[in-house]
Amino acid sequence: IAGLVTGHLVEAHRAGVRIAKATYATSAPGGADICVLSAYPKDNEFLQYSTAYTPLQSAPAPIVRPGGTVVVASAASEGQGFHSLFGPGMSKFSGGSAGPADHLDLVLFSPGVRRGDLEPDQRDRAPLFATWDDTVAWLAAKHGAEATVSVFPCAVTQLVGEVTDPS
């Protein structure tokens, strides 16, 4: 437990946000060729994979260079998963998950998911790999052996408070 807040709903929430930023925020180098985002601990079902985008969404500046690649790693031991609020006609349904910016490639590493489990927009947008070796081979073919990589092992709970100059 990082902290406990009480009181007026809005004021208590803001105090909790300040605690979370102080606890979970890290600095990250900008301009990486590759950014690996692990969906752990929300990786038992693939439906949760987009929660791994937290570092990208919270960073005050880009952490991946234009033309770079974002890899989302999700074990998806329960497969695609199910959540009724995300189904057609429900409040959270979007027809697909938002991904990284259009100037970035998305790669999915998920041993528990097959291409047919993905939404149509996901099938068209991102390569899906069941093994890490295959993922690395694809990345090496695109970026070469000297690629710079940022890794967020618990991306779901990691905030980027500062983007640093990698040089």
71 - beta bridge partners?
36, 107
Taking the model in full, what pTM does it have? 0.84
Single out the residue of 54, 46, 36, 42 nearest to residue 119, CA to CA: 46
Distance, CA of 165 to CA of 138 (rounded, Å) = 27
- If one counts every other C-beta atom within 10 angstroms of the C-beta of residue 26, the result is 12
Q: Which tens digits make up the pLDDT trace of 54-67? A: 999 999 999 999 99
Q: Which tens digits make up the pLDDT trace of 87-117? A: 666 665 555 555 677 789 999 999 998 888 8
Single out the residue of 162, 132, 157 nearest to residue 23, CA to CA: 157
